[in-house]
Structure 1
Amino acid sequence: MTTPYGTIFYFGILFLFLAPIIIAGLNGRRLPVYNAFVTLLFIYWMFSENYIQGIAFIAFIFWQLIIVRLYFNYRRVLNKNHGGIFTLAILMSILPLIVTKMQPLLAGHLSLVGFLGISYLTFKAVTMVIEIRDGLIKEYNSVEFVNFLLFFPTLSSGPIDRYRRFKQDVDKPLDKEKYLALLNRGIFLIFLGFLYKFIIAYLVSKYWVEPLKFNLINHINFGSSMLGYMYSYSMYLFFDFAGYSAFAVGVSHMLGIQTPMNFNKPFIARNIKDFWNRWHMTLSFWFRDFVFMRLVFWLTKKKWFKSKFTIAYIAYFVNFMIMGIWHGLHWYYILYGLYQALMIIGFDIFERINKKYKFYPKNKVTHVIGVFITFNFICFGFLIFSGILDKIPF
C-alpha cells in the first residue's frame, strides 16, 4: 500500500498531476473531469499493493451510498422522521467501522473489511445521515456525495470536512485572486509539513523516542527514561500528525478547497478545554457536535437527571470513552479516553468552585501556570496513549 505523503517520490508524482489543476485555477477555472481522473488514479495507487483492501474500500463506498440514498428517500420523499429508522441508518453506516475496530477480538478475520481511511470516511457518511435528519441537507446527489467521500487529499487520515461546507467550495466559481491566495497558503502548508513530519518528527523519533523506548523495555535509567519518553513521544505525535495534516490541507488548497485546519498551537492551551479546541480540531469538533451535544440534548429531554452538570459530565464521559475506543479496543486507548474525561470534568468542577470563591485569579501569571500544568497533564495522557506501558516487562 502506498501511504499518502509518505515519500518524496509521492510528492513528485502528486505535483506533476496537480500542475494542470493549478494552471486552470490561476485562470479562474476548475477541471472537474480531470480532478476525478486524478482522484481515481491516486486512490488506485493507494490500494495497488493490497487489492483486498481496495475491494473493501469500493464495497464500503457502495454501502454508504445505499444507506444515505435510502435514508434521504425515507426522510424527504416519504416525509417521515421516525427515530428508530434514523438510529438504524446510523448503526448501518458505522457497522463496517465497528467490525474493523473489533479486529483484536476476532482473531484476524477482518482484513476483508478494514482499509486505510475507513474511520474518516465513516465520519463523513454519518454526518450526511445526521444532517439529512436535521433538515440541513435538502437536496442530495449521489455523484456529489461520492466526490465528497473520495476527496483524495484527506482520504486516509482527515481532516474531517463537512459536506455542506465542501459543496459550497466546489460549487462556487474560482476567483483568480482568491485562488492565488489559496495556492500560496497551500504551498506554505506543504513546506511546513515537510519541516514538521520529515525533519522535526524524524529527528525526535530517531534520537529520543526510539532510544528511550529501548531503555524502558530494558529497564535502563527507568525513571528518567520514562519522563523523557513521555515528553519526546508527545512532541513526535504532534509534529508527525500535524505535518500530515498540513500536507492534506495544503494539497486541498491547491485544488481550490479550503479544508479546515486540524491543529492550532495545542501545547500553549491554558486548560484542557482549550486544548481540545486546538488539538485534532476536526475530530474534536465532530465528537462535540454529534456525540456530546446530542447526548446532552437527549438526556435533558428525558429528564433523567435534574442537574445540568450531571448531564454534562455523563456526556463528557461517554464522548471521551467512545473517542478512546475509536482508536482501538486496547486497554490503554480506553484508559486514555477515561483519563481525558476525568480531566475535563475535573477542570469544569474547578472552574465552578473558582467562580464562586475566586481564589484563583485570571492574569498573565496564572495563564502561564495554566499552560505549564496543562502541558504536563496532556503529555501524561499521551504516555498512556502510546501503549508503551503495555510493552514494558514489569
Structure 2
Amino acid sequence: MTPYGNIIFFIIIGILLMPTMILGLREKSAKGYNIFISIIVLALIFGNSLNGSISLILFTVFQLILIIAYQKYRLQQNSSFVFVIAVLLSVLPLGLVKILPILGLQHLFGFLGISYITFKSVQMILETRDGLMKDKISTVELAYFLLFFPTVSSGPIDRWRRFYKDMHSVPSSQDYQKLLLSGINYIFIGFLYKFILAYLIYNYALIFLPNHTYNYLTPFQGQIAYMYMYSFYLFFDFAGYSAFAVGVSRMMGIQTPINFNRPFSSRNIKDFWNRWHMSLSFWFRDYVYMRFVFWMTKKKWIQNKYAISYIGFFLLFFLMGIWHGLEWHFVVYGLYHALLIISFDKFERWNKKHKFWPKNKWTHAIGVFITFNTVCFGFYIFSGTLF
C-alpha cells in the first residue's frame, strides 16, 4: 500500500489513531500504542513485497547494530578512522541502490524510504561523534525513530533529540487539542495540494506538454509552459505529501518539522533553500557543508575562506543532485544550483560595498521574480526534458 496514496489509507490511519487521540485528550502517554500501530502500518506499506519486507528488516537491523556499536565505541574512544568507516558503512546500502542498477546488477536493499532512513542513521552517527549522544539509547525507540511511519517513505527528515523530546512528552489536554487541530489542518492542506491542485495540473496541462503541445503553442512555447507547469506540479505534489506526514505526526504527538514555507515567494536563491524541502536542505547544510568548511578551515589546506565555502557549496549540491539519481540531469541540476548560490553570494558581498541594490518593495518584487524563474528553470533541468 502506497503511503497517502488513496482514501483507504487515510481511513485505516484514522481508525488506528482513534485510541491515540483518546489517550492524548485524557493526558495519557500514547508512545507504546503508537509504536504498535507503526508496526501495523509498516506491514501494510511493505507487506505486498516479500523482497521489500526482507530488505527493510535486514537494512534496519544493520543500521541499528551499526549505530549502537558506534555509540558504545565512542564512549571509550574517538578514532577518526573508525568514525569514517561507520559513516561509509551506513551509506553503503544506499550507494549500492544508486550504483548497481546502472551496472545492470541487482541489489538487495531496494525499498521505499531507504534514503530517509539512511539520513537519520548517518545523523545519529555524526551526533554521537560530536558527543551529543551520551545517554544509552533504547533499541525499540531508535527503531521507532528510524521507521516512524508518517515520514518513512519521503520525509520530512526529523532530528533524534527533537523527536526523543516529543516522544517522551505528554502534552496537556489543551495542548494536545491544538496539536490535533493543527494535524487535521495539515491533512486538509495536503488533500488540497496533492489530490486537487497537483492532480489538475498533471491531468489537464502537464501530460499535454511538451511533446504534445496545444495547437496554439509553438514547440518553444510548449517547453516554457512545461517548465512552469512541472514546477507547480512538483511543489503541490511533494508539499501535499509532506503536509500529510506532518499532520499525521502531530496527531501522534510528534511535531515533525515542516518541509515547505512558501518557496515561490523567495527573494533570492539562499532564501529559496531556506524554504524548499527544508528538512533535506538543512540536513545537507549541517552535516555536509558545515562539516566540510570546519574540516578545511582546521586543516588550513586552503587559506581563502570564500574558496572553501564555494567548494563546500559544490560538494553540497552535487551530493543533493546525485541523491536523486546518477542520471546527467540530476548532476547538472545540483551543479546549476551551486552556481546560482555562489553567484548570489558574490553579488551580495559586492553589493554591500557598492550599495547598488537597495532594499525596498521594488527590489524585493524583482528579486522574487528572478528567483522564481531561475528556480523553475532548475526544475526544468531536474525533469530531464532538457536532455
Aligned to 1:155: 152
Aligned to 1:342: 339
Is residue 235 of structure 2 the alignment partner of residue 238 of structure 1?
yes
SS at match of 1:119: helix
Match for residue 207 of structure 2 among 207, 210, 230:
210
Aligned to 1:372: 369
Q: Return the alpha-carbon distance in structure 1 between the equivalents of residues 140 and 350 of structure 2.
A: 53
For 1:30, give the aligned amino acid.
Answer: S
Indicate if the aligned counterparts of 2:78 and 2:129 stay in contact, CA closer than 8 A: yes
Alignment of 1:256-267 (within 5 A): 256-267=253-264
Match for residue 122 of structure 2 among 121, 126, 130:
126
Identity %: 55
Aligned to 1:117: 113
Aligned to 1:247: 244
For 1:96, give the aligned amino acid.
Answer: P
For 1:43, give the aligned amino acid.
Answer: L
Structure 2 unaligned spans of 5+: none
Aligned to 2:297: 300
For 2:17, give the aligned amino acid.
Answer: L
Give the superposition deviation at 1:215. 2.2
Q: What is the TM-score of this pair, normalised by structure 2?
A: 0.97
Aligned residue-pair number: 386
Indicate if the aligned counterparts of 1:209 and 1:232 stay in contact, CA closer than 8 A: yes
Q: What is the TM-score of this pair, normalised by structure 1?
A: 0.96
Q: Return the alpha-carbon distance in structure 2 between the equivalents of residues 337 and 60 of structure 1.
A: 28
For 2:220, give the aligned amino acid.
Answer: G
For 1:151, give the aligned amino acid.
Answer: F
Aligned to 1:35: 34
Aligned to 2:288: 291
Match for residue 180 of structure 1 among 158, 177, 180:
177
Q: Return the alpha-carbon distance in structure 1 between the equivalents of residues 203 and 20 of structure 2.
A: 37
Q: Return the alpha-carbon distance in structure 1 between the equivalents of residues 320 and 34 of structure 2.
A: 33
Q: Return the alpha-carbon distance in structure 2 between the equivalents of residues 330 and 182 of structure 1.
A: 41
Give the superposition deviation at 1:141. 2.1
Indicate if the aligned counterparts of 1:104 and 1:329 stay in contact, CA closer than 8 A: no
User: Structure 1 stretch 321-330 or stretch 170-179: which is displaced more?
Assistant: 170-179
SS at match of 2:281: helix
Structure 1 unaligned spans of 5+: none
User: Structure 1 stretch 138-147 or stretch 221-230: which is displaced more?
Assistant: 138-147
Match for residue 362 of structure 1 among 359, 368, 380:
359
Q: Return the alpha-carbon distance in structure 2 between the equivalents of residues 34 and 353 of structure 1.
A: 56
Indicate if the aligned counterparts of 2:31 and 2:167 stay in contact, CA closer than 8 A: no
Q: Return the alpha-carbon distance in structure 1 between the equivalents of residues 186 and 354 of structure 2.
A: 45
Question: What is the Cα-based RMSD across aligned positions, in Å?
Answer: 1.5
Indicate if the aligned counterparts of 1:215 and 1:221 stay in contact, CA closer than 8 A: no
Deviations 1:17-45 (A, max 9, x none): 11111111111112333222211111111
Aligned to 1:274: 271
Indicate if the aligned counterparts of 2:4 and 2:10 stay in contact, CA closer than 8 A: yes
Is residue 60 of structure 2 the alignment partner of residue 95 of structure 1?
no
